[in-house]
Structure 1
Amino acid sequence: MDPTHLKLGKPAEIPDRPDATVLDRVPNPHADTLYLTRFAVPEFTSLCPVTGQPDFAHLVIDYVPAEWLVESKSLKLYLFGFRNHGAFHEGCTVEIGKALRDLLQPHWLRIGGYWYPRGGIPIDVFWQTGEPPTGVWVPDQGMPGYRGRG
């Protein structure tokens, strides 16, 4: 892998769509150890593909790395690319999970998309690659079900 292509430490433009940037990966320095990495993304945004109105979500991405880690600046830029991207909640959440699975080939990955209500209905979307490895501590994602004002 050539680290000169990494975005880390370099100026980067904010992409206008998810496929306008490249997710980078770096070698896992503890590939011989099973552990969980979590990314919490409390300000994820995309657009409704029908109305063009903004949609907001809190994403929680958990994965048990194998040989690769996702480079966090590239992940941030990739997620920024959804801000002008029209897709349903399910499409965004699963697309992100599959992109990370394909890039990293982790032992296990899950993504929870906790979407804020529009039209009075919150939508939560969950996707994972299978069962987590035995012996890995997988904490609850910590997001309560939507309760409105109650």
Structure 2
Amino acid sequence: MSETIYSGLQQLGSPTSMPASPEAAVLEKVANPQAGQRYVVRFTAPEFTSLCPMTGQPDFAHLVIDYIPRDWLVESKSLKLFLFSFRNHGAFHEDCTVSIARRLVDLLQPEWLRIGGYWYPRGGIPIDVFWQSGAAPADVWIPDQGVPPYRGRG
């Protein structure tokens, strides 16, 4: 088989076990075949799960990640496994949301990235966490994340 931009991937197309933690998860990237074009990539994880660091009880969120790539794209299986690795990870909502964004920025060096963490209520209070790497470019279509304020999210 000849070399392609996908040749260096270790997880896609191979049996891959669940990472024990976000730190152990391997995020992979591939060369952007549309480098030089400005466009938005969106990943939506409506069933994100982590653990409360104090009680060990599960916390649930609807995550929306938008980014404008430069030279790199995140490989989606590795992103899925990275997000799954939070299922046994204890951290507050704010830490989970911002850690995911910063890890992606460090890996991809995108032109722009934002994450919306729309967390389901615990103790009667929903906590929504938003982070972005800078001002959104005015000349690229960036749709609304489409998650309404909490009124029985689902």
Whether TM exceeds 0.5 here: the answer is yes
Letter in 2 for 1:93: T
Contact preservation (8 Å) 2:27, 2:74: yes
Partner of 1:36: 40
Q: Deviations over 1:87-144 (max 9, x none)?
A: 0000000000000000000000000000000110000000000012231101000000
Partner of 1:78: 82
Partner of 1:62: 66
Runs (4+) of structure 1 exceeding 6 A deviation are none
Q: Distance in 2 between matches of 1:86 and 1:76?
A: 18
Q: Distance in 2 between matches of 1:93 and 1:27?
A: 25
Partner of 1:142: 146
Alignment of 1:1-150 (within 5 A): 3-148=7-152
Higher helix proportion (structure 1 or 2)? 1
Uncovered stretches (5+) of structure 1, i.e. residues with no partner? none
State the shift of 1:52 in Å.
0.3
* TM-score, normalised relative to structure 2: 0.93
Aligned residue pairs total: 149
State the shift of 1:5 in Å.
4.1
Uncovered stretches (5+) of structure 2, i.e. residues with no partner? none
